[in-house]
Structure 1
Amino acid sequence: MDRLIYTAMTGAKHILEQQATTAHNLANATTTGFKAQIDSFRAVPILGDGLPTRAFVVDATMGTNYAAGSIQQTGRDLDIAVQGEGWIAVQRADGSEGYTRNGSLKINQNGQLQTESGLNVMGDGGPISIPPDVSVTIAKDGTVSSVNNLTAPGATNIIGRIKLANPPESSLKRAADGLFVTSNGQPAPADANVTVVGGALESSNVNVVDTMVNMISLARQFEMQMKMLDNAQNNAGKADQLFGLNG
């Protein structure tokens, strides 16, 4: 009964945590370039005096589903989608380098190429600045080119190249701001093999149907843990009655 309480209690706690992760994934089912979060759990015995009769559940790992989402054409010049493996390098709020698959870009009032959330897109030599009165195109290899709108025909000028990286998935972790960073905090090198599709965006890799089914399954598992606790309480009550009869 003692073991039953610990198992059911910790199981219910972590089912709620997994339900929160599932709800977070579902909420980001339409977020561009989002990668679903994965939780896994394991049973751990409680060590102490006497026999190891008690166990509890711990969150073993918090992983990520790195599968690519579908590429959807938008026709917008500043939209890019990473084709296959790879990441777009951006400058995080603290100045460090982060990685995203969200290629919905914009040009701010200062002429800097940024993500929709206002983070600078990194180039070979740092953030990329766009001159005024130009039309911008982004090539397959991330090269940013411009054409002057004030001259006809305008000459094509290469402004810079978006840094595209492909660090090993095992070296990446999800940061609190939603971006991915390397485990050692060092910038990943640029990878010339990473390519992008212009005028397109990558959708979230969250499968809405599977996620909804998982939420229902977790709810039923939580109910089962609660029933186990009720059974433990009933067993304790009956044991007290038996002890009372023996007295």
Structure 2
Amino acid sequence: MDKLVYTAMTGARHILDQQATTSNNLANATTTGFRAQLDAFRAVPVVSEGLPTRTFVVDSTVGSDFRSGPIETTGRALDVAVRGEGWLAVQSNDGSEAYTRNGSLKISENGLLQTSAGLTLQGENGPIAVPPNMNVAISADGTVSGIDTSQGQPGPANVLGRIKLVNPPTTGLLRGDDGLFRLESGQPAQADQNVRLADGCLEGSNVNPVDAMVNMIALARSFDTQMSLIKNAENNAAKATQILALN
């Protein structure tokens, strides 16, 4: 009974944690470039003076699903999607370099190329500044060009910079609380010339809403099962107490 209670109790607790993860994934089913979060659990024996017959469940690994999401055409010049593997490098709020797949870009009041969340996009030589009255175009290799329209007639195209595109191994990437990914080593990744962009497109979330809903239902049933096991253990203990009292 003791072993049953430990297993069911910790199992129910981490089912709730997994339910929260699934709910977060479902809430971001329409978030541009979102990567679904994955949970993995394992059983750990309870070390004590008694026999090692008790186990509990721990969340051993929190990972991410790095499969690409669907690419949708928007026709907007500042929308880009990473084709296949790769990331856009941005400067996070704490000043460190982080990586995202959200290619919905904008030009800030200071003329810096940023994501829709207000994070400054990293260029291979620093932030990319866009002068006023510029029509911006982004090529497949991340080169940002601008055409001056202040004279009434379009002028020649000027290269403003090149977006830093990286492709580090996914095994070394960690998701932060802000939803951005960083290298586990804390060091910035090297630019990868093989990463390509699709202009006028955005990559959607790789969360499948149907699968997420089915998973939530399955988790709810699993939680009910764990609660039933705890109740059965309580009933068994009560019956055992009655038998011992009769003896």
Q: Which amino acid aligns with 1:243?
A: L
Q: Which runs of 5+ in 1 are unaligned?
A: none
Whole-angstrom distance in 1 between the partners of 2:23 and 2:71: 24
2:101 paired residue number: 101
Runs of 4+ in 1 over 3 A off after TM superposition: none
TM-score of the aligned structures, taking structure 2 as reference length: 0.99
Q: Which amino acid aligns with 1:127?
A: P
2:154 paired residue number: 153
Q: Which amino acid aligns with 1:120?
A: T
2:25 paired residue number: 25
2:244 paired residue number: 243
Other structure's SS at 2:99 match: strand
TM-score of the aligned structures, taking structure 1 as reference length: 0.99
**Correspondence 1:126 to 2:126:** yes
Whole-angstrom distance in 2 between the partners of 1:31 and 1:53: 45
Whole-angstrom distance in 2 between the partners of 1:167 and 1:138: 22
Whole-angstrom distance in 2 between the partners of 1:56 and 1:212: 27
1:116 paired residue number: 116
Whole-angstrom distance in 2 between the partners of 1:100 and 1:18: 24
Alignment RMSD = 0.6
1:168 paired residue number: 169
Q: Deviations over 1:164-223 (max 9, x none)?
A: 000000110001111000001100000000000000000000011111100000000000
Whole-angstrom distance in 1 between the partners of 2:123 and 2:217: 44
Q: CA deviation at 1:153?
A: 3.4
1:207 paired residue number: 208
**Correspondence 1:41 to 2:4:** no
Q: CA deviation at 1:50?
A: 2.4
1:188 paired residue number: 189
Whole-angstrom distance in 2 between the partners of 1:115 and 1:32: 11
Q: Which amino acid aligns with 2:213?
A: M
Other structure's SS at 1:12 match: helix
Q: Which amino acid aligns with 1:159?
A: L
Whole-angstrom distance in 2 between the partners of 1:216 and 1:168: 33
**Correspondence 1:225 to 2:210:** no
Q: Which amino acid aligns with 2:21?
A: T
Q: Which amino acid aligns with 1:129?
A: A
